[in-house]
Structure 1
């Protein structure tokens, strides 16, 4: 069951299942080779995580997270990811330092090549490795669930013109602090990065609202 829950969650995280999309038990059962009862139970667990909602007489669908809730999620992530960055700086090995620096260089190369998709993938890899290096399993589990809830807002942010150019420097500051084994600097750098993310989310949302108003006025 845990594997099925993780598989469906992964479809949401990758954007293959989008907000408000209906989740057909029969289709998911065929896709994963399980029973409809197993799918129903898995969707119930994802509903408890906030990724899925059930609509009366219409079944289950991917839950659309409103902007205000997405900001709250980012604020909670700021605290938890700051904790993970600080712990990672305490525990990082020489091999892991090399790995983090390689990811950072890859992010620089992706920005230079205007590879938005590649940059986004490396962004996810960097945060994931920091979580793993930190050994903070509880924090990592909570962050993963929250990331799934706000995936639509993360996608919109990734598409914001110039955003990778801004965020790459923030990520390199995090990497540098962890690799210097400076927990305080690592936590501050991560919190500063999430502050920047929250500010950019507000900018994207405001631009979307203005665009909607302009469209309505035509």
Structure 2
């Protein structure tokens, strides 16, 4: 197989893995729901072999679990495990926020300032869908600004595993009034190019998430 063909195959497999991952995170498949290779092959117009590889990739990410002689199913993440994930995220996200404040360019500062105003507007208008999307965008930008590839890879895997609980939190009564100022505090510290303040604001935000998760029904 030529290098070009191999690259095309790898790109296609990555895309299929991403599409199945997105479907799980959207809630198209419920926790513990079996993932039938033939059904997924039809749904995503992919070969059974490609689907099997995608499921193996997602099992490695912790989104899917393989069942002996029974295929695969969506892995359910308990509240206790979600709390542990946030506790692990804390150190990594503090690191990324610190690095983002150190690396911030004037061009990046302008983009981040615009994002801050969009977050404020979505919170003011109580647009929860828009607000949740902007929060994800903020997290992604902080990771990108950090330039820390290892922390970014680990965080993306952890965030994927806890996405369902993050969705529950986004719609928790009064959550937007607490989280919006926390997100803006993180952005302000990065914009001020104050690494320790950015890390502290990030830690306080995630500590609030742990406290809220602890109060969710199991």
Residue 176 (structure 2) pairs with residue 164 (structure 1): yes
Higher mean alpha-carbon deviation, 145-154 vs 159-168, is at 145-154
Q: CA deviation at 1:7?
A: 2.3
Residue 79 (structure 2) pairs with residue 75 (structure 1): no
Q: CA deviation at 1:88?
A: 0.4
Residue matched to 2:38:
26
Deviations 1:85-107 (A, max 9, x none): 00000111112112112112111
Pick from 96, 99, 105 the counterpart of residue 87 of structure 1: 99
Q: Is the 8 A contact 2:25 2:164 kept in 1?
A: no
Corresponding pairs, count: 206
Q: CA deviation at 1:56?
A: 4.0
Residue 189 (structure 2) pairs with residue 184 (structure 1): no
Deviations 1:128-161 (A, max 9, x none): 0110111111111111111111122111111110
Residue matched to 2:17:
5
Mapped to 2, the partners of 1:18 and 1:27 lie a distance apart of 15
TM-score (norm 1): 0.89
Residue matched to 2:77:
65
Residue matched to 1:119:
131
Q: Is the 8 A contact 1:20 1:62 kept in 2?
A: yes
Q: Is the 8 A contact 1:13 1:147 kept in 2?
A: no
Residue matched to 1:144:
156
TM-score (norm 2): 0.89
Residue matched to 2:144:
132
Aligned CA RMSD, in angstroms, stands at: 1.5
Q: CA deviation at 1:21?
A: 2.5
Mapped to 2, the partners of 1:82 and 1:17 lie a distance apart of 32
SS in 1 for 2:72: strand
Q: CA deviation at 1:30?
A: 2.6
Higher mean alpha-carbon deviation, 5-14 vs 147-156, is at 5-14
Mapped to 2, the partners of 1:164 and 1:95 lie a distance apart of 28
Q: CA deviation at 1:6?
A: 2.2
